[in-house]
């Protein structure tokens, strides 16, 4: 074993020998001592804590936002103020939409005139068409007619409201002709007018003209969502007018489907001879009774006036057909085919059957697909 011999004769192994003495570095040794005294820093743990704090803040923000939409049994809400009504039957209230659907030239605009004319009726005159008087500011946007025809609408309203001077603007009415404007501008004008006037009733005669394509699902949903937001934000009722599909009582396009789902009331108008029949197609409230009106030529413009419901002989013939040929019970598809054999188009046949079901003349068993004549 190699050893190192010291001056007193003692020997040590080489591996036990001391290394050459290094110069003393006081700063470095003091720093090492301090580090040994402080806890070890864990970067990952610090990042995890920060992440948890951020997630907790996000959860609290989400809960706060969701709380604005939560409804419980204890939520205090005011009943919406009725805007349109016939007697005790509420058709339209604040913060909601309603829809008038009708065949071409079924007098949808005249129905709007009858509604607004009754609302604005000056006492002591009584409403002509059965709608409750409720003086309020009305905004009316017409997207289809020329200014000349829109002026006729204004004159009809003045006459129905018994305004003493038809040459002066009717108080409480703001009527705009927007046929010349593109869809985007019409919608912009609607927003501006509602914000400026704060009306309680908004009539949009030609809601389809506020968009480019009524069969575009996203565009339809976007428009209906905006209408609902406007009605809620400004506490008004928005009455929309839309054409029905040809030979059908369904509102046109995806827009019609979206409006039917969201509307408080859907009124369906169709012509029977010279009369227009109005039916409650969909109602969130108690349905109003069917009624009819015709156009009286008391003035150059013509005025809507109530009349007797026409004899629904085509429907009576349908019921007689089911009774006589099928004993009062028939499959729906078989009856549709039979009506086509008798000269109806498929759409007309379907509409006739649907109307008979809605009027309670035929009862439909969804499971068996059977139609049965209702007993009186």
pLDDT by residue for the chain (376 residues), tens digit each? 455 554 455 555 555 444 555 555 555 555 555 555 556 678 888 888 999 999 999 999 999 999 989 999 998 888 889 999 998 899 999 999 999 999 888 999 999 999 999 999 888 678 888 888 888 999 999 999 999 999 999 999 999 998 888 778 899 999 999 999 999 999 999 999 999 999 999 999 999 999 999 999 999 999 999 999 999 999 999 999 999 987 677 899 999 999 999 999 999 998 888 899 999 988 999 999 889 999 998 777 789 999 998 865 555 788 888 888 888 899 999 999 998 888 877 877 888 888 888 878 898 988 888 898 887 5
User: Coil, strand or helix: which one is 24?
Assistant: coil
- Helices assigned H by DSSP within the chain: 26-37, 43-67, 108-119, 147-160, 183-197, 217-233, 253-262, 313-326, 332-341, 346-358
Residues 327 and 265 in one domain: no
Domain co-membership, 355 together with 273: no
Whether residue 362 sits in one domain with residue 297: no
What is the C-alpha to C-alpha distance for residues 75 and 152, in angstroms, rounded to an integer? Answer: 47
User: Are both 220 and 280 inside the same structural domain?
Assistant: yes
160 with 94, same domain: the answer is yes
Dist CA 162 CA 171 (whole Å)? 12
Please give the Cα distance from 341 to 321 (Å, whole number): 13
Record the tokens describing residue 33, joined without a space: 């001592």
CB proximity list for 329: less than 8 A, separation 6 or greater: 322, 370, 371, 372, 373
DSSP string for 320-362: HHHHHHHTTEEEHHHHHHHHHHTT--HHHHHHHHHHHHHTTSE
Q: How many domains are there within the chain?
A: 2
Residues 122 and 185 in one domain: yes
Q: Residue 207: which of 111, 141, 115 has the closest Cα?
A: 141
Structural tokens at position 219: 């565009």
| 32, part of any domain | no
> Would you tell me how many other CB atoms lie within 10 Å of the CB of residue 172?
18
Residues 146 and 168: their CA atoms lie apart, in Å, by 20
CB 102 within 8 A of CB 251: no
- What is the rounded distance in angstroms from the CA atom of residue 210 to the CA atom of residue 214? 9
Strand, helix or coil for residue 17: coil
What is the domain range of residue 115?
82-307
Distance in angstroms (rounded) separating the CA atoms of residues 205 and 183:
13
Specify whether 321 is located in the same domain as 302: no
Look at residues 258, 273, 307 and tell me which one is the last residue of a structural domain: 307
Q: How many angstroms separate the CA atoms of 243 and 303, rounded?
A: 21
pTM of the predicted protein model: 0.72
Residue appearing with tokens 């339809």: 220
Co-location of 131 and 215 in the same domain: yes
Query: Please, are residues 136 and 201 in contact by the beta-carbon 8 Å criterion?
Result: yes
Where is the domain boundary, 307, 324, 344?
Answer: 307
């Amino acid at each position: 074993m190699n050893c190192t011999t010291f001056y007193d004769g003692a020997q040590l192994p080489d591996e036990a020998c001391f290394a050459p003495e290094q110069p003393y570095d006081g700063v470095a040794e003091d720093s090492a001592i301090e580090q040994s005294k402080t806890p070890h820093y864990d970067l990952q743990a610090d990042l995890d804590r920060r992440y948890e704090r951020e997630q907790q803040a996000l959860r609290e923000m989400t809960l706060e936002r969701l709380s604005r939409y939560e409804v419980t049994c204890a939520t205090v809400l005011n009943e919406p103020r009725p805007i349109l009504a016939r007697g005790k039957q509420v058709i339209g209230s604040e913060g909601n939409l309603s829809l008038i659907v009708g065949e071409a030239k079924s007098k949808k605009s005249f129905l709007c005139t009858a509604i607004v004319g009754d609302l604005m009726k000056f006492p002591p005159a009584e409403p002509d068409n059965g709608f409750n008087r409720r003086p309020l500011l009305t905004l009316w946007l017409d997207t289809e007619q020329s200014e000349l025809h829109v002026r006729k609408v204004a004159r009809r309203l003045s006459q129905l409201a018994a305004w003493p001077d038809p040459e002066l603007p009717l108080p409480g009415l703001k009527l705009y002709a927007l046929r010349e404007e593109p869809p985007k501008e019409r919608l912009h004008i609607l927003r501006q007018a509602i914000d400026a006037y704060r009306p309680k009733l908004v009539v949009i005669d030609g809601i389809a003209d506020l968009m480019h394509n009524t069969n575009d699902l996203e565009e339809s949903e976007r428009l209906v969502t905006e209408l609902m937001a406007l009605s809620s934000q400004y506490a008004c009722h928005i009455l929309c007018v839309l054409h029905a599909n040809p030979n059908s009582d369904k509102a046109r396009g995806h827009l019609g489907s979206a409006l039917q789902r969201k509307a408080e009331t859907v009124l369906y108008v169709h012509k029977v001879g010279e009369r227009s029949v109005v039916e409650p197609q969909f109602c969130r409230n108690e349905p109003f009774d069917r009624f009819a009106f015709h156009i009286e030529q008391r003035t150059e413009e013509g005025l809507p006036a109530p009349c007797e419901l026409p004899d629904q002989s085509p429907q009576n013939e349908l019921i007689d057909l089911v009774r006589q040929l099928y004993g009062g019970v028939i499959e729906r598809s078989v009856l549709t085919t039979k009506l086509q054999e008798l000269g109806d188009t498929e759409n007309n046949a379907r509409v006739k059957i649907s109307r008979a079901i809605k009027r309670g003349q035929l009862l439909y068993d969804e499971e068996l697909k059977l139609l049965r004549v209702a007993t009186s």
